[in-house]
Structure 1
Amino acid sequence: MDRRESLKALVLGGVGSSLFLSSCVTDKKSPIVEGDIIEEKEGYGRTPAEEKRDEDLYSKTFFSKEEMATISILADIIIPEDEESVSATEAGVPEFIEFIVKDIPEHQIPMRGGLMWINRESNKHFEAAFNEISKENQMEIIDNMAYPRAFEENSPGPVFFRNIRNLVVTGYFTSEPGFKYLDYRGNTPNVWDGVPAYVLEKHGMKYDEGFLKVAMDPATRNEVMDWNNYEV
């Protein structure tokens, strides 16, 4: 199993973190009554206060250009481009991380500290910043962070790598390319073929054959049942 498939398994298994929230609201101050028409708006459903907060966050910059370059390199190492989907940077993951550290300030010190740490390691071993060394040397540092010896698991490098890996995975698999890769279809109805036979048998019940013919036919699943013409 390759890296992308492993990350996909983590997300589908519920291990991947979820950092995004959404809500549905209307501008009506009075209760909704029968006959009201709710006008749909573009966007993902935010209150005016939330929209203003988003605007404020987008107007600010936290990471420097050098830090964003490092985040981009790390993101594409964690989720590179392959024949099935785009890389993390093409999916907008660095921009997602930039937004998250402003939206959730607890991430700011660990992320900036981790970026400083990785540059110290790069300068110590290769006498250049992480962004300036070869891909082979970058991978040497990453491998030591991703696969630390037991006594190093709680040292700054491995802890930082776990944090940024979680952010990259969350950002990628909540992006449009990530949704497509997971084949996530949202609230798409499936075909229901009734209560299982063993459950019906357990309770001494069974379906009426006439009902099964008209109500359990997937071909007519989108048609409204006309009970007036239904005959047992």
Structure 2
Amino acid sequence: MGGMASSLFLGSCITDKEAPIEEGDIIEEKEGYGRTPAEEERDEEIYSKEFFSKEEMATIIILADIIVPEDEESVSASEAGVPEFIEFIVKDIPGHQLPMRGGLLWINRESSKRFDAAFNEISEENQMEIINHMAYPKDFEKNSQGSIFFRNFRDLVVTGYFTSEPGFKYLDYRGNTPNVWDGVPSHILEKHGMKYDEDLLKVAMDPETRNEVMDWNKYEV
């Protein structure tokens, strides 16, 4: 899920056309979050503005936690900062603003029609009735406003969650870290009629010496 969702935004990032990154720009390292001065300035501008109202953010928190609830293995979407991620995304990529706001309005209208109250004010059971209607639509409703909104919103939640620190831990994502390679599997070697030299194998595949430069002059190639 994380791999699928992350691809949604890798190609959608908006760069600052007025202040492109120039060769020689100094990237300041801040706990692994390297930004150029122009990028930092743009981030500050985005963070200084608010798009969603308090009522809209309350709905976003409820929806996000329904999609990724807290369990024994990890925290909920809201605890991982997903609502703040969505707020950032709609300001960074304005094309999300109208669909997101329109979808939130649709949910409140649907809640008022069914239960005569705003979505944030109805019971969890009634909230799930509306969510299930959007998440599992009948064939003729798959392109309805509610269903389209929920699909887009779910993608944002999954992307935000699995690119957060709790999401990394949940996936046991290690990043670009060294590991130990123990060679080509034996059945593959047998398939191609090949095998490792046993003396070389003891040295070349020794995890204790994997950071040392190999002296190939000791062996015949």
Match of 2:70 among 65, 81, 84: 81
Q: Which runs of 5+ in 2 are unaligned?
A: 14-20
Match of 2:24 among 19, 29, 34: 29
Deviation of 1:209 after TM superposition, in Å, equals 3.1
RMSD: 2.6
User: Which residue type is aligned with residue 172 of structure 2?
Assistant: D
Determine if contact 2:5/2:158 at 8 Å carries over to the other structure: yes
Secondary structure of residue in 2 paired with 1:91? coil
| Corresponding position: 1:57 with 2:46 | yes
Hey, what does 2:17 align to over in structure 1? none
Determine if contact 2:69/2:77 at 8 Å carries over to the other structure: yes
Hey, what does 1:166 align to over in structure 2? 155
Hey, what does 1:117 align to over in structure 2? 106
Q: Distance in 2 between matches of 1:196 and 1:40?
A: 43
Q: Assess, with a 3 A threshold, how the Cα gap between structure 1 residues 196 and 136 changes in structure 2: closer, same or farther.
A: closer
Q: Distance in 2 between matches of 1:76 and 1:206?
A: 53
Structure 1 length-normalised TM:
0.80
Q: Assess, with a 3 A threshold, how the Cα gap between structure 1 residues 29 and 157 changes in structure 2: closer, same or farther.
A: closer
Q: Assess, with a 3 A threshold, how the Cα gap between structure 1 residues 16 and 41 changes in structure 2: closer, same or farther.
A: closer
| Corresponding position: 1:16 with 2:5 | yes
Match of 1:211 among 184, 187, 200: 200
Extract structure 1 runs of 4+ deviating beyond 6 A: 201-204
Determine if contact 2:64/2:157 at 8 Å carries over to the other structure: yes
Q: Distance in 2 between matches of 1:109 and 1:224?
A: 57
Aligned residues: 209
| Corresponding position: 1:48 with 2:31 | no
Match of 1:102 among 91, 101, 115: 91
Structure 2 length-normalised TM:
0.84
Deviation of 1:194 after TM superposition, in Å, equals 2.9
Determine if contact 1:210/1:231 at 8 Å carries over to the other structure: no
Determine if contact 2:108/2:118 at 8 Å carries over to the other structure: yes
Deviation of 1:29 after TM superposition, in Å, equals 3.0
Hey, what does 1:149 align to over in structure 2? 138
Determine if contact 1:114/1:160 at 8 Å carries over to the other structure: yes
Q: Assess, with a 3 A threshold, how the Cα gap between structure 1 residues 123 and 209 changes in structure 2: closer, same or farther.
A: same
Q: Assess, with a 3 A threshold, how the Cα gap between structure 1 residues 82 and 197 changes in structure 2: closer, same or farther.
A: closer
Does 187-196 or 74-83 show the bigger shift?
187-196
- Between the aligned residues of both structures, percent identity stands at 77
Q: Distance in 1 between matches of 2:189 and 2:124?
A: 62
